[in-house]
Amino acid sequence: MESNDLMDMPEDEFRKSVVLRLSAQDVAIAENTALTKSVSEDTAFIRAAWAEGIVAVRFFCRLAAAWRFVLKQVFMPIGLPLLTLYGMWFYTQFHRFPTWLADCFKFLMAVL
């Protein structure tokens, strides 16, 4: 029904028209609610799987952050200088570098 027709009709018919339109909207909203509930019930297992997947992703992200922390805050400022000092001491005592240290250095030079 057009808006001009609504404005021209008598008040009783106008009220009935509005009530019918609102009732039809209530029915449509109820149908949409039922459909939405059925879709949510059908996809509950997918949402549960995603929830478990999100937990796994968070775990691995935290693990990666911890690994970056260990490399940047522990290994680089503490581990590398200590390995350098140990290599220098070993060289002064035995006149050669430890084989494992030399191999690690060769590997890093090949990779970098």
| Cβ neighbours for 96, distance < 8 A, ≥ 6 positions apart | 90
pLDDT in tens, 55-103: 889 999 999 999 999 999 998 999 889 999 999 999 999 999 999 999 9
- Distance between CA atoms of 64 and 62, rounded to whole angstroms? 5
Is pTM beyond 0.95 here? no
Closest listed residue to residue 30, CA positions, set 44, 43, 38: 38
* pLDDT of the residue at 62: 96
Cα-based distances in Å from 84 to 69, 94, 107: 21, 15, 16
The single-letter code of the amino acid at 88 is: M
